[in-house]
């Protein structure tokens, strides 16, 4: 970090951001999630540290995770949650149910057990939802809850799990503008192998988890306006749906820009793809600045030596055991060049490792150009 020069803090367009996929599920012992969340919140709110103006988190699926973030950060930050709780599964989720029912017939050919399970899985995807909630209530998943009764009352999964937070002392105001889980046509979960465990995971993904994005705006002390988009894109490489997801994000940004002129726009989050993915070409062609590429060291955020990484590298189209950048921060300013710096945090060097992803710390400074323009003036219609 010492290799980066100090930047002036009095620039009219100047702000800092932290992006982190927090791995919002237990790994290892039952207290693992609780410990990791405390590391994150204590580090951010430590008065001896330079606190980011903006926080972007992914994977805050569980109510416990959201509660821990709120209790640890709410004194210093205003938090915006996606709060996508709709338990009604899409029609498309019935397909893996039918496949599971077929497997039940093959594995348990003796009625009535096979018939009962098949009917439940085929006609009611909510059956699995009920099982998960019962498991949560009795702490089968070893979540760090002390009162199962309170857990039953609060066990509403946020199927997007994205969070944006704004530092109260450095942000004049903030507004949640848009939250969206990608529709089935854009969701793009890779088809699973034909085995029970993979089909079950496929069903859970389609029914309870969504790649998607959350957008909020804020006003800096200089009255400059910043639009922040926190994304969590689909797994799998190559995956053409990721390109469509990026196009959808840009379409929504355009519509918001029509209502208000923003001085800077940020697209930050877990892209779940290496830099060779075609989704990044869209952003690069439209002039978005990859902060780690232009103002950092291009450090990988998914690293083979990280003990919390449990997925095989080929989930991202990589060789097993390799490392890659899959978390990004793209910035585009209106009427100013994008300057600043970007480096990894929570990587064992700049803070304790607390997730399967390393965090990105970004500082943005704008240098005025001759004539201010809308931040998306040069974004053409995408084909």
CATH of the domain at 165: 3.60.10.10
The answer as to whether 4 is a domain residue is no
The answer as to whether 106 is a domain residue is no
- Most distant CA pair in the chain, distance: 77
The answer as to whether 65 is a domain residue is yes
Sheet of strand 77-81: strand arrangement: 77-81, 163-167, 54-58, 14-21, 359-368, 336-345
| Pairwise CA distance, residues 360 & 52, whole Å | 11
The answer as to whether 212 is a domain residue is yes
Six-digit token string for 181 = 């889980």
The answer as to whether 280 is a domain residue is yes
Per the structure, the count of domains in the chain is 1
| Pairwise CA distance, residues 331 & 294, whole Å | 11
Instruction: pLDDT tens for the chain, 383 residues: list them.
Output: 333 333 444 457 999 999 999 998 766 555 688 899 999 999 999 999 999 999 999 999 888 899 999 999 999 999 999 987 654 444 444 555 555 556 655 666 555 555 555 555 545 555 555 555 554 444 344 444 333 334 433 456 788 899 999 999 999 999 999 999 998 788 888 777 776 666 666 766 766 678 999 999 999 999 999 999 999 999 877 889 999 999 999 999 999 999 899 999 999 999 999 888 999 999 999 999 999 999 999 999 998 888 888 654 444 455 545 788 999 999 999 878 999 999 999 999 999 999 999 999 999 997 665 444 444 444 444 43
Query: Backbone dihedral region of 263: left (phi > 0), alpha (psi from -120 to 50 degrees) or beta?
Result: alpha
pTM: 0.78
The answer as to whether 101 is a domain residue is no
The answer as to whether 251 is a domain residue is yes
- Note the Cα 227 to chain centre separation in Å: 16
Q: State the pairing for strand pair 54-58/359-368.
A: unpaired
Q: Among all chains, which residue has been given the structure tokens 């060049």?
A: 337
Angle of helix 63-73 versus helix 32-45 axis, rounded to 10: 30
The answer as to whether 181 is a domain residue is yes
| Pairwise CA distance, residues 237 & 314, whole Å | 8
Q: Which structural domain, as residue segments, surrounds residue 166?
A: 14-89+125-366
């Amino acid at each position: 970090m010492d290799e980066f020069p100090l930047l002036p803090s009095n620039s009219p367009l100047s702000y800092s951001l932290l992006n982190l996929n927090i791995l919002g599920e237990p790994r290892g012992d039952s207290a693992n999630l609780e410990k990791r969340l405390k590391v994150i919140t204590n580090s951010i709110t430590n008065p001896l540290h330079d606190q980011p103006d903006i926080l972007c988190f992914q994977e805050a699926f569980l109510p416990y995770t959201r509660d821990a973030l709120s209790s640890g950060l709410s004194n210093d930050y205003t938090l915006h949650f996606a709060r996508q709780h709709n338990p009604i599964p899409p029609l498309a989720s019935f397909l893996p149910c039918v496949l599971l029912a077929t497997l039940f017939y093959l594995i348990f050919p003796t009625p009535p057990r096979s018939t009962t399970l098949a009917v439940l899985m085929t006609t009611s995807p909510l059956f699995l939802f009920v099982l998960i909630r019962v498991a949560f209530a009795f702490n089968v998943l070893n979540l760090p809850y002390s009162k199962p009764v309170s857990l039953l009352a609060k066990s509403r999964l946020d199927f997007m799990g994205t969070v944006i937070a704004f530092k109260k002392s450095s942000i004049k105001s903030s507004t949640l503008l848009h939250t969206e889980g990608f529709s089935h046509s854009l969701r793009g979960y890779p088809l699973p192998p034909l085995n029970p465990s993979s089909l079950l995971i496929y069903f859970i993904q389609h029914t309870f988890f969504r790649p998607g994005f959350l957008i909020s705006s804020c006003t800096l002390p200089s009255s400059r306006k910043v639009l922040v988009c926190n994304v969590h894109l689909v797994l799998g490489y190559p995956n053409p749906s990721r390109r469509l997801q990026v196009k959808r994000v840009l379409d929504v940004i355009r519509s918001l820009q029509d209502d208000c002129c923003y001085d800077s726009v940020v697209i930050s989050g877990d892209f779940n793809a290496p830099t060779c993915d075609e989704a990044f070409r869209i952003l690069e062609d439209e002039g978005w600045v990859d902060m780690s590429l232009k103002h950092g060291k291009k450090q990988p955020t998914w690293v083979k030596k990280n003990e919390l990484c449990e997925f095989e590298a080929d989930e991202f189209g990589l060789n097993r055991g390799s490392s890659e950048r899959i978390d990004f921060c793209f910035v585009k300013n209106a009427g100013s060049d994008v300057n600043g710096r970007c480096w990894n945090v929570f990587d064992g060097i700049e803070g304790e490792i607390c997730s399967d992803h390393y965090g990105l710390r970004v500082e943005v400074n704008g240098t005025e150009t001759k004539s201010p323009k809308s931040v998306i003036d040069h974004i053409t219609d995408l084909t």
